[in-house]
Amino acid sequence: MLEFTAEYRPGDGRPAVVFMSALFAGGWIWDHPFPRLSAEGWPVLRTNEAICALDRQVAGSIERLGDALLRVCDDAGVEDAVVCANSLGGLVAIDLAGRRPDRVRGIVVSGAPGLTPDPDVGLGFDRRGSVRPFGDDFGERMVAALFHSGRSHFAPERMAEAGALLERPEAMVSMARSIKATRRYQVRPALERVRCPSLYVWGRHDRMTPVAPWLEVLAGHPDAEVLVVEDSGHIPMVECAEGYTAALERFVTRCAGALT
């Protein structure tokens, strides 16, 4: 059964900053904050595989994905973690914070689903329940959904990597299971269980998972910090990398200070 592998760089005694890959993008979406925090002495870990590259039983469960993330932490010797995640991974971070407060010392969530219908980005379900891309303009529609600027901020080789993954039938089944899991997940009760520091970094122009419903829900959680990135869409750690990393640095420093 395929599960996560990870890149780990040890640091000082502070909590590790753990970066989780997204539904169809691997750990490379963290190419900006990962090396910078490592250079500052933070222990950092990022998962390598996209979620849809995992076994369908793992990919189809928010809880199993969280357990899989903790297993790679265990393998690296990481006990205390600040979990950073985008999109589907954001639900995993929220869920882990509620289930495993002994391990999760903070969460940074961006673009999580669960409060709005699925967007139309050129994906459809076939009769077997698998996901498939359709239409000649699939790539353009996906880029428009992900990025505010309307152009891809992924290197061509990264786009090719994601495209090759989406051509694999087993990856499509795992993606379908993941999408169904987000539809079933109860976001509001999960947020009530979060007790650790939390930062929600959302693109103002996120078309995949619009920010407005999250602002409404998080207004009832005054301890949660919210940062809306004005010039970003669904992936602020890529589209506005410098601003995202700076906010992350401030947040993890506060998390570490709260534990001393």
Residue 132 has pLDDT above 70, yes or no: no
pLDDT digits (tens, 9 = 90+) for 145-156: 788 887 778 777
Residue 159: burial class (beta carbons within 10 Å; 0-12, 13-18, 19+): middle
pLDDT digits (tens, 9 = 90+) for 205-260: 998 899 999 999 999 999 999 999 999 999 999 999 999 999 999 999 999 887 65
Report which of residues 219 and 163 the model is more confident about. Answer: 219
- Measured CA to CA, the distance from residue 79 to residue 45 in angstroms comes to 12
Report which of residues 171 and 101 the model is more confident about. Answer: 101
Amino acid at 176: A
CA 94 to chain centre: 10
pLDDT for 157 equals 80
Residue 126 has pLDDT above 70, yes or no: no
Residue 186 has pLDDT above 90, yes or no: yes
Name the helix (H) or strand (E) containing 18: strand 16-19
Report which of residues 58 and 125 the model is more confident about. Answer: 58
pLDDT for 99 equals 97
Provide the percentage of residues in the chain whose pLDDT is more than 90. Answer: 69
Give the mean model confidence (pLDDT) for residues 18-40.
95
pLDDT digits (tens, 9 = 90+) for 31-90: 999 999 999 999 999 999 999 999 999 999 999 999 999 999 999 999 999 999 999 999
Closest CA to 194 of 85, 65, 99, 259: 99
Which class does domain 6-118+169-258 fall in?
Answer: alpha beta
pTM, rounded to two decimals: 0.91
- Measured CA to CA, the distance from residue 28 to residue 20 in angstroms comes to 10
Q: Residue 159's pLDDT band (boundaries 50, 70, 90)?
A: confident
Mean pLDDT of the chain: 89
